[in-house]
Amino acid sequence: MTISQDLFKRAQDSIPGGVNSPVRAFNGVGGTPLFITKAEGVHTFDADGKQYIDYVGSWGPMILGHNHPEIKQAVLEAVENGLSYGAPTETEILMAEKVKALVPSIEKVRMVSSGTEATMSAIRLARGYTGRDKILKFEGCYHGHADSLLVKAGSGALTMGVPNSPGIPADFAKHTLTVSFNNLDEVKAIFEQYKDQIACVIIEPVAGNMNCIPPVEGFLEGLREVCTDNQSVLIFDEVMTGFRVALGGAQQYYNITPDLTCLGKVIGGGMPVGAFGGKKEIMDYIAPVGPVYQAGTLSGNPIAMAAGLKALELLSKEGLHAELEAKSKALCEGFQAAADETGIALTTNYAGGMFGFFFTDAKKVTSYQQATECDLERFKKFFHLMLDEGVYLAPSAFEAGFVSTMHSDEEIANTINAAKRAFAKL
């Protein structure tokens, strides 16, 4: 028995499923999750002492690589002054100013402690602001686990086959309308059907919780138009894409201005941080200036702010995101060429620092339906073959992969060579 196997057995006695977030349990791929003891740069190390090239990056935050020395230093310096005050600090202002500078659609921003809190609060705000109850989301998009949003969701909910979790009253779920990602006709039809009732549309502008599916041309532009025409709030959930697809997020990459934006992952530099922000007029609708309640004991925590602010400063380097996208492109093209050579049907997608690959005959995957029709058995085998090769990919066919600034050309080439050997064994 490996040490990870032993730890997993022990964990299951006191933690449901042995994990504190479902996708970590490897249910999507089978086998035993690796227990991680440390991470440095591009690598994670498991309890058995094996080293992996990591493409999970703590599910997105570690865009600058693990344990970045300057972020670590910022945290250590902040710790000297105490861990939490529950009172305002100047670092929060610096953070808000930085976010506003990087994401111009954000005029005011509120910090929270997770992506779920960000989307949940943005939805409440949109409902309060418009006085409407219904919200529109897209099948396969995951926005955290708040009740209204765990309807036809992606990510772990997709892998586990519980798109509608028990525990969510039908009376809540009935206000969540769902249509197909990348299908503007369905959006227009549902707005016809529920005229003047839809408070907001929430979308992952690049879907990253049903593998990686970028928007088709004109889709986000169309959404913007429909929302404006219907006085619905357009919410971009950039918890995954923010500061990753481009410095200004997917909204900058695709040049669309949402009304509200949700952030998470990268914004905390590895600490628990989320945020939501947008138009001043809407943001001033939350307490204490407005009537919509929203709060948090640890919101804007000084240690988390220090880490996040340093991460955003480091990410602001000219050309960094172009380099990141070049890495995603090289990886995808390398996988494609290796698959073609070995006769494996594969297609890939990428946007900025996120990527996905699909075992399918389809030339391009642009829909949730196509993503779910891919060869999941083949993915599972491939995942474990890559793990044997020392490459740690997301343990689910429905999660995007992430590159960091630390992934060198050599590591990407090694990953492609490992994939070629793995494809040959499928």
Could you list the active site residues?
Answer: 142, 237, 265
Distances (CA, A) of 92 to 104, 303, 417: 18, 11, 45
CA 385, CA 295: separation in Å to the nearest integer?
45
Sole binder of ligand PLP in the list 27, 44, 119, 349 (CB under 6 A): 119
**288 preceded by cis ω (within 30°)?**
yes
Among 209, 294, 366, 405, which residue interacts with ligand PLP (rule: CB under 6 A)?
209
DSSP helix, strand, coil percent of the chain (3-state; round to 5): 40, 15, 40
Q: Is the C-alpha dihedral spanning 336, 342, 343, 345 positive or negative?
A: negative
Q: Please state the closest distance from residue 258 (CB atom) to ligand PLP, in A.
A: 14
Element (DSSP H or E) covering residue 203? strand 198-203
Q: Among 160, 353, 105, 123, which Cα is nearest to 245's?
A: 353
| CB 90 to ligand PLP: min, Å | 25
Tell me how many residues contact ligand PLP (CB under 6 A).
17
Cβ pair 279, 236 in contact under 8 A: no
Using CB under 6 A as the binding rule, whether residue 264 contacts ligand PLP is answered as yes
| Residue 261 phi, psi dihedral angles, 5° rounding | -130, 135
Rounded distance between C-alpha atoms, residue 290 and residue 147, angstroms: 24
State which of residues 46, 54, 139, 237 lies at the interface with ligand PLP (CB under 6 A): 237
- We find the least distance from the C-beta atom of residue 206 to ligand PLP, in angstroms, to be 9
State in angstroms the smallest separation of the CB of 426 from ligand PLP. Answer: 28
Q: Which is nearer to ligand PLP, 158 or 330 (CB)?
A: 158
Q: Which is nearer to ligand PLP, 6 or 147 (CB)?
A: 147
**Site for ligand PLP (CB under 6 A): which residue of 22, 33, 61, 115?**
115
| Binders of ligand PLP in range 24-83 (CB under 6 A) | 59
> In the set 105, 116, 130, 301, which binds ligand PLP (CB under 6 A)?
116
Distance CA(362)–CA(323), nearest Å, equals: 28
Handedness of CA 314, 96, 269, 78 (dihedral sign): positive
Q: Does position 239 bind ligand PLP by CB under 6 A?
A: yes
The nearer residue to ligand PLP, 239 or 324, going by C-beta atoms, is 239
142 part of the interface to ligand PLP, by CB under 6 A: yes
CB of 208 to ligand PLP, least distance (A): 6
Site of interaction with ligand PLP (CB under 6 A): 59, 114-116, 119, 142-144, 155, 204, 208-209, 237, 239-240, 264, 274
